[in-house]
DNA sequence: AATCCGGGGCA
DNA sequence: TGCCCAGGATT
């Protein structure tokens, strides 16, 4: 193995970046702190190719930080719909208002202040300052952790405090004094395109000659995976209530917890009687109830079985179901709402016309 | 079906 | 300080 001395790490990477790195991503054009911030939050949860259209739409709607701050949260959640991790959208919005109100709408330029904003930790703060302003700060996202763990043979799960400390130490040590923005971008690019979790492209990697994992053939063992846990199952009953005009009843999820702040189909315990629920909670008169095929949705920490009761009902002309937390929506209104992806999928299926299943007996068993 | 993710929140 | 949590995509 040819050793790459620590002082050659950054130059090697920068040289690779100049030849192979991506420089045409939307947030790399006019890389202001605001644009880099939004892109980093989106990229925390989603891959580049998926983020691009979301980012473009977001910037078209909120070109500057104050546009975001002045917008209602619902408008932000609607543009985030499908990205997941909706708490991040809420933090983004909340932080924009903080900057508007406490920093005259100017993005702070020191790490301490930036890190105190909701949704921004050390790595995201470092990314904003280095990519947008060229300041010297290390980053340590999932891609960079993988590059370091493999290159320097860092053992242990990166979620462990001691392992994380070691990785941050490497990040600080290896950071160059010049071109830190390009260097950080290069680290992320390398992790995203070559040093991937599965089947890394070591044959094209500039760091391969000195990479510990490569040398030992342990690319698949580093970084060490998170200790596995059993995944519990949960069950819920979704109420798909429609009135004669085709409107659907939605409820807003509580701010904390799953799908926080989003509109969703009303949920109740699987053993509740849907018709009774409908009368009590909405004042709507149920005419007919049919069970639809159940759906399953997997999260990393539990599996959710969603039973679905379809209720044809007569909505009261005005009543409890017309508030900020429970409302009837016409089909045309659904597109502009912040809806969880699985709920959007159910609504698309169940409100689509021409389904032959409208004449089939109500299904009781789970699909698949 | 298993894995990943940067930061918030809470015991 | 050390867990637990979130919602999709990818493999």
pLDDT digits (tens, 9 = 90+) for A264-304: 999 888 889 999 999 998 888 899 999 998 888 877 777 88
Band (pLDDT 50/70/90 cuts) for residue A259 is: confident
pLDDT, mean of residues A131-159: 93
Determine the protein residue whose CA lies at the shortest distance from the C1' of B1: A298
| Closest nucleotide relative to residue A301's CA, C1' based | C5
Structure tokens at A285: 């008169």
Position A238 pLDDT exceeds 80: yes
A290 is known as an active-site residue: no
* CA-based nearest residue to A255, from A35, A12, A77, A70: A77
The length of chain A is: 368
pTM for the complete prediction?
A: 0.83
A143 CB and strand B closer than 7 A:
yes
pLDDT score recorded for residue A195 = 93
- Is the per-residue pLDDT at A321 higher than 50? yes
Q: What is the pLDDT of residue A322?
A: 61
pLDDT of residue A368: 31
**CA of A158 vs C1' of C3, distance in Å?**
15
A267, A340 Cβ separation under 8 angstroms: no
Per-residue flag: A226 CB under 7 A of strand B: yes
Q: State which residue has its Cα closest to the C1' atom of B5.
A: A45
Strand B at less than 7 A from CB of A120: yes
Q: Is the pLDDT of residue A327 over 80?
A: yes
pLDDT at A359: 34
pLDDT at A236: 87
Cβ count near A311 (within 10 Å): 21
Residue A234's pLDDT is what? 81
φ and ψ at residue A42, rounded to 5 degrees:
-65, -40
Asked if residue A94 keeps its beta carbon closer than 7 A to nucleic acid strand C, the reply is: no
**Whose C1' is closest to the CA of A87: which nucleotide?**
C6
**Mean pLDDT, rounded, for A205-229:** 90
Given a contact cutoff of 8 angstroms between Cβ atoms, the answer to whether A255 and A286 are in contact is no
CA distance A241 to A276: 12
Q: Could you identify the residue whose CA is nearest to the C1' atom of nucleotide C10?
A: A47
Measure A2 CA to C7 C1' (Å). Answer: 42
Report residue A350's pLDDT band, with 50, 70 and 90 as the boundaries.
confident
pLDDT band at A4 (very low <50, low <70, confident <90, very high): low
Would the pLDDT of A360 be above 70? no
pLDDT above 60 (res A356): no
**A134 C-beta less than 7 Å away from strand B:** no
**What is the percent of chain A with per-residue pLDDT over 90, rounded to a whole number?**
61
In Å, what is the separation between the CA of A80 and the C1' of B7? 18
pLDDT at A344: 87
**Among chain A residues 186-205, those with CB within 7 Å of any atom of strand C:** 196-198
The nucleotide whose C1' lies nearest the CA of A226 is B3
* Distance in Å, residue A50 CA to nucleotide C9 C1': 9
Question: Protein footprint on strand C: which nucleotides are under 7 Å from a CB?
Answer: 1-2, 4-11
Residue A258, CB, strand C, below 7 Å: yes
The string of pLDDT tens digits covering residues A22-45 is 899 999 999 999 999 999 999 998
H, E, C per residue of chain A: CCCCCHHHHHHHHHHHHHHHCCCCCHHHCCCCHHHHHHHHHHHCCCCHHHHHHHHHHHHHHCCCHHHHHHCCHHHHHHHHCCCCCHHHHHHHHHHHHHHHHHCCCCCCCCHHHHHCCCCCCHHHHHHHHHHHHCCCCCCCCHHHHHHHHHHCCCCCCCCCHHHHHHHHHHHHHHCCCCCHHHHHHHHHHHHHHCCCCCCCCHHHCCCHHHCHHHHHCCCCCCCCCCCCCCCCEEEEEEEEEECCCCCEEEEECCCCCCCCCCEECCEECCCCCHHHHHHHHHCCEEEEEEEEEEEEEECCCCEEEEEEEEEEEECCCCCCCECCCEEEECHHHHHHCCCCHHHHHHHHHHHCCCCHHHHCCCCCCECC
Q: Quick one: pLDDT band at residue A367, thresholds 50, 70, 90?
A: very low
Q: Which residue is nearest to nucleotide C9 (CA to C1')?
A: A46
Instruction: Write the CB contacts of A364 (distance below 8 Å, at least 6 apart in sequence).
Output: A291
pLDDT of residue A2: 59
Give the nearest nucleotide to A262, CA to C1'. C7
pLDDT of residue A365: 36
Look at residue A213 and tell me whether its pLDDT is greater than 60: yes
Q: Report, as an integer, the average pLDDT of A125-131.
A: 95
CA distance A59 to A43: 15
């Amino acid at each position: 193995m040819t050793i790459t001395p620590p002082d050659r790490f950054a130059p090697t990477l920068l040289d690779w970046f100049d030849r192979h790195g991506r420089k045409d991503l939307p947030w790399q054009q006019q890389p202001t702190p605001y644009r880099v911030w939004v892109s980093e939050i989106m990229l925390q949860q989603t891959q580049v190719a998926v983020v691009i259209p979301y980012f473009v739409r977001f910037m078209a709607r909120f070109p500057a930080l104050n546009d975001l701050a002045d917008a209602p949260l619902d408008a932000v959640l609607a543009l985030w719909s499908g990205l997941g991790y909706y708490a991040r959208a809420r933090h983004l919005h909340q932080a924009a208002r903080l900057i508007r109100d406490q920093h005259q709408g100017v993005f702070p330029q020191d790490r301490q202040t930036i890190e105190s904003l909701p949704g921004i930790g050390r790595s995201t703060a470092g990314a904003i300052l280095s990519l947008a302003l060229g300041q010297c700060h290390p980053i340590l996202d999932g891609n960079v952790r993988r590059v370091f763990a493999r290159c320097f043979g860092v053992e242990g799960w990166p979620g462990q405090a001691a392992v994380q400390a070691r990785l941050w130490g490497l990040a600080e040590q290896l950071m160059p004094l010049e071109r830190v923005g390009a260097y950080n971008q290069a680290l992320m690019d390398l992790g995203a395109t070559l040093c991937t979790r599965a089947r890394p492209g070591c044959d094209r990697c500039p760091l391969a000659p000195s990479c510990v994992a490569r040398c030992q053939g342990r690319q698949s063992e580093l970084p060490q995976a998170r200790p596995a846990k059993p995944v519990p199952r949960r069950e819920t009953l979704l109420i798909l209530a429609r009135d004669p005009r085709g409107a659907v009843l939605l409820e807003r999820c509580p701010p904390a917890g799953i799908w926080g702040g989003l509109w969703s189909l009303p949920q109740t315990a699987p053993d509740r009687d849907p018709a009774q629920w409908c009368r009590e909670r909405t004042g709507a008169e149920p005419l007919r109830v049919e069970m639809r095929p159940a759906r399953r949705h997997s999260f990393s920490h539990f599996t959710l079985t969603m039973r679905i009761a379809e209720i044809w009902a007569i909505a009261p002309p005005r009543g409890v179901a017309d508030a900020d937390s429970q409302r009837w929506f016409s089909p045309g209104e659904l597109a502009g709402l912040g809806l969880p992806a699985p709920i959007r999928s159910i609504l698309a299926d169940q409100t689509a016309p021409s389904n032959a299943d409208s004449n089939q007996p109500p299904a009781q068993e789970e699909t698949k």
